[in-house]
Structure 1
Amino acid sequence: MLEKEKEALARRIAGEITLSSDPGKTMRKWREIFGISQTELAEHLGVSSSVISDYEGGRRKSPGAGTIKKFVEALLKIDEERGGSVIKAFSRTIGVELPTSAILDIREFSIPIKISQLLDAVNGEIVANEDMIDREIYGYTVVDSIRAILEMSSEEFLKLYGWTTERALVFTKVSTGRSPMVAVRVQGLKPAVIVLHGVKKLDELAVKLAQRERIPLIVSKIENESELINNLRKLVERTEKEV
């Protein structure tokens, strides 16, 4: 199944771990992207979960090539046994244009960042679920909310999530925030955080839906869309320098 995509993904994961200044943190990032627990991964590798924990926490020396190879193979094998959702998501990102004009930008971070870092990048105010500000995310998608409503099918809406739902959905051209929150709730998949840009008067229903779904909701105060996207891309660049 998707052998070329598997090979490309395996090379990317192994390369990131090998070149990272903190291999353990990068290993944790990929394990969490695949949605695999330390215990499950340890069982698959035939080691104790404390071994995985020690690598991720930097308490063991950097893994060698053999360990990295086994780690990557285990992630891919477990994903395949679950239906290959991460491999399939990766395959959709290879050599293709953005799947719809409603998606203005979509990126993955080289290492996970906290929502608090995103908050600073978008010059935002968190209006719901501030207690979740330390949650980590792995990427973002910027969406033109008007085009999304007019053009996107249910299948295309799922493409907003890239490789993982543990990301920020950033909606631009928002007037009240109600439509993006309703759309997210109807689709069922929940992002880790939602950012609204261009809000003129925030709808109380948007805040209530965010609270009910336990999704941190941020209102960006950046003046224009280009500056918003530029700030997000700079955030990606900073994570690349840390790898």
Structure 2
Amino acid sequence: MAKNETHENVRQRLSEKMAGEITLSEKPGEALKKWRLNFEVAQTDLSNYLGVSPSVISDYESGRRKSPGILIVSKIVEALLNIDAERGGQKIHAYEGMLYTETSSRAVYATYEYTYPMQLAKLSKSIDADVINKGVEKPLYGFTVIDSKKAILELSSHEFQKLYGWSTERAMVFTKVSTGKSPMVAIRVTNLKPGAVVIHGLRKNEVDPLARKMAEIDRIPLLATTMDIDGLVDSLKKYSQYHIIE
């Protein structure tokens, strides 16, 4: 298959995935906001591309305006994809592996998606975590708990990206870490960046300063917790659980 044809297939499948999730969601505005954040597109950039006021996008996302129909959703999805393509297509390329390969991995302990986003303060409180780097706070639409040793030893950078599920705006919890450096190095070399990183098993003063520095450079919130891992997962599951990715 030609390269251009493959690219078009990826775009088409991703477009269908995005539009389907938004239109079928009980909260289409939240789903729309999630995908806009996934593509790192500001409301003003999206509204300028569509030729509408930024308040229109804001009203759709907040639910103040009637849920958009399939035609409007399609235009918004197409705009997000086009904006990414104009920026080099990094996000589209990153999602290619999720569309064409299996997402299961022995490195994944648990993965969940939320209907309603969780804020960083709620995450920290839920898992009794210390904030090492505040970074840029984003709404979190899920979490993934990863066996750090298995991920680092077994996964390529391409496979590592699949751990994000369908939203990068999620908390990535790394277990079995010794200093916290390795997970941050793995994140640095991927195109996708999580909404927050949680180092499990270390106290705040035990996390390597280099891990904090990398979090600062990538502007990623970094937390540390020693909560029992099963208790941590149970606590996060109780927050607006949507579905489990098998």
What TM-score, normalized by structure 2, do the two folds share?
A: 0.73
Q: Which amino acid aligns with 1:192?
A: G
Report whether the alignment pairs 1:141 with 2:180: no
Q: How far apart, in 2, do the equivalents of 1:5 and 1:236 lie?
A: 31
Deviation at 1:207, TM superposition (A): 6.8
Q: How far apart, in 1, do the equivalents of 2:98 and 2:207 lie?
A: 34
Deviation at 1:31, TM superposition (A): 1.4
Deviations 1:220-243 (A, max 9, x none): 33323x5544554554724x6xxx
Task: Give the match for residue 202 of structure 1.
Answer: 206
RMSD: 3.5
Greater shift, 40-49 or 86-95, is seen at: 86-95
Mark the CA change 1:231 to 1:89 in structure 2 (over 3 Å): closer, same or farther.
Answer: farther
| Alignment map for 1:217-228 (pairs within 5 Å) | 217-224=222-229, 226-228=230-232
Report whether the alignment pairs 1:174 with 2:172: no
Q: How far apart, in 2, do the equivalents of 1:12 and 1:189 lie?
A: 18
Q: How far apart, in 2, do the equivalents of 1:114 and 1:221 lie?
A: 20
Task: Give the match for residue 51 of structure 2.
Answer: 46
Task: Give the match for residue 101 of structure 2.
Answer: 96
Greater shift, 210-219 or 68-77, is seen at: 210-219
Q: How many residues align?
A: 236
Q: How far apart, in 1, do the equivalents of 2:90 and 2:188 lie?
A: 21
Could you list the runs of 5+ residues in structure 2 that have no partner in the other structure? 1-5
Task: Give the match for residue 126 of structure 1.
Answer: 130
Q: How far apart, in 2, do the equivalents of 1:64 and 1:206 lie?
A: 47
Deviation at 1:209, TM superposition (A): 2.8
Mark the CA change 1:44 to 1:181 in structure 2 (over 3 Å): closer, same or farther.
Answer: closer
What TM-score, normalized by structure 1, do the two folds share?
A: 0.74
Task: Give the match for residue 75 of structure 1.
Answer: 80
Mark the CA change 1:234 to 1:90 in structure 2 (over 3 Å): closer, same or farther.
Answer: farther
Deviation at 1:69, TM superposition (A): 2.2
